[in-house]
């Protein structure tokens, strides 16, 4: 399968001369199986250009998996042209909002309401289908199997593992590994540590042995001290997860909007100097336009 990173930026798109190398589009990843089944993960602004490219071959059937509904992962949809074309079949997969009882269609439609956008979701001409995902329940798309796992973030967020013809790929969506809410001298500390270990083991086991993992690593460990609970990982937590899970290659994604190309280069250099990876694991900074052929 061919995986292309189409948007690797977190929070808000950041075009400009300082982000040309790694890109300013928010999260979007396309996955195409050897047979041509089209899968997209997340609709950040990176989905816009891909949609234009997809228009070359109509009618189109496409399966879009949403890790979560934070704005930087859905903001590209009103500009995803295939939605406007009759004859296309677009399937959305994601979770229900269990706090305010909103289904996926409602959530996505709301950003296309009158005050936000001139075309309403009900006016889109493609056939649109909405599916609710359940943790660990695989979904078959042609030769691919897509399996969701719930990962910690301020809103329900599903990471996705995709397998096809013996090759595998994993994307976290936005993910902050759990940290202990108790201080070391609180009596609940140990119990909470055990819960964290159990939770982390579940994630490691789920992604064990994937060829490529794209992981949320927005912060350096120093920055993270003041960002605990914000919902994102660090370069170190990504490396730790990839190592424990015996991943082949790890890509660091969800680059902070403040991060310039030069800064990302510097962070990567420092990582290369200071981290010794287990053999079999290589790492890279996610960059817009990168093609990964598995």
Q: Is 205 in the site for another protein (CB under 8 A)?
A: no
Q: Is 113 in the site for another protein (CB under 8 A)?
A: no
CB of 47 to another protein, least distance (A): 24
Q: Is 131 in the site for another protein (CB under 8 A)?
A: no
Site for another protein in 226-285 (CB under 8 A): 229, 231
User: How far is it, in rounded angstroms, from Cα 130 to Cα 119?
Assistant: 19
Q: Is 114 in the site for another protein (CB under 8 A)?
A: no
- Which residue, 198 or 222, is less far from another protein as judged by CB? 198
Among 135, 190, 223, 265, binds another protein (CB under 8 A): 135
Is 195 in a helix, a strand, or coil?
helix
Q: Is 96 in the site for another protein (CB under 8 A)?
A: yes
Q: Is 55 in the site for another protein (CB under 8 A)?
A: no
CB of 190 to another protein, least distance (A): 11
| Region from 23-31, 47-55, 96-104, 283-291 binding another protein, contact rule CB under 8 A | 96-104
Among 71, 116, 117, 182, binds another protein (CB under 8 A): 182
Among 57, 101, 209, 276, binds another protein (CB under 8 A): 101
User: How far is it, in rounded angstroms, from Cα 255 to Cα 9?
Assistant: 5
| Region from 38-46, 50-58, 165-173, 189-197 binding another protein, contact rule CB under 8 A | 189-197
Among 35, 113, 188, 205, binds another protein (CB under 8 A): 188
Among 54, 75, 95, 218, binds another protein (CB under 8 A): 95
Q: Is 186 in the site for another protein (CB under 8 A)?
A: yes
- Which residue, 203 or 264, is less far from another protein as judged by CB? 203
HEC per residue, the chain:
CEEEEEECECCCCCCCHHHCCCCCCECEEEEECCCCCEEEECCCCHHHHHHHHHCCCCCCEEEEECCCCCHHHCCCHHHCHHHHCCCCEEEEEECCECCCCECHHHHHHHCCCCCCCCCCHHHCCCEEEEEECCCCCCEEECCEEEEEEEECCCCCEEEEEEEECCEEEEECCCCCCCCCCCCCCCCCHHHHHHHHHHHHHHHHHHHCCCCEEEEECCECHHHHCCCCCCCCCEHHHHHHHHHHCCCCEEEEECECCCCCHHHHHHHHHHHHHHCCCCCCCEEEECCCCCEEEC
The residues that touch another protein, with contacts defined as CB under 8 A, are 95-96, 98-101, 132-137, 150, 152-156, 178, 181-182, 186, 188, 191-192, 195-196, 198-199, 229, 231
């Amino acid at each position: 399968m061919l995986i292309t990173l189409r948007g690797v930026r977190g929070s808000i798109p950041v075009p400009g001369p300082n982000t040309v190398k790694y890109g300013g589009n928010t999260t979007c990843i396309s996955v195409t199986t050897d047979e041509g089944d089209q899968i997209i993960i997340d609709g950040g602004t990176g989905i816009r250009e891909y949609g234009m490219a997809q228009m070359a071959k109509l009618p189109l059937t496409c399966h879009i998996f949403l890790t979560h509904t934070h704005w930087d992962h859905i903001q590209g949809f009103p500009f995803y042209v295939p939605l406007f074309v009759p004859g296309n079949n677009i399937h959305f997969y994601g979770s229900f909002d269990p706090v305010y009882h909103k289904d996926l269609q409602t959530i996505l439609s709301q950003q296309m309401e009158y005050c936000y956008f001139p075309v309403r979701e009900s006016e889109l001409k493609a056939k649109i289908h909405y599916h609710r995902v359940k943790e660990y329940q695989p979904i078959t798309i042609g030769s691919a199997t897509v399996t969701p796992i719930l990962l910690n973030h301020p809103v329900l967020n599903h990471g996705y593992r995709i397998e096809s013809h013996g090759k595998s790929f994993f994307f976290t969506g936005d993910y902050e590994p759990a940290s202990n809410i108790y201080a070391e001298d609180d009596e609940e500390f140990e119990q909470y540590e055990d819960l964290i270990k159990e939770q982390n083991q579940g994630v490691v086991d789920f992604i064990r042995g994937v060829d490529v993992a794209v992981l949320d690593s927005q912060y350096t460990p120093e920055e993270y001290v003041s960002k605990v609970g914000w919902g994102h990982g660090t370069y170190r937590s990504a490396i730790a997860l990839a190592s424990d899970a015996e991943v082949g290659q790890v890509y660091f994604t969800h680059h902070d909007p403040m991060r310039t190309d030069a800064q990302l280069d510097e962070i990567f250099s420092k990582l290369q100097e200071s981290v010794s990876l287990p053999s079999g694991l290589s790492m890279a900074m996610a960059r817009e336009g990168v093609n990964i052929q598995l």
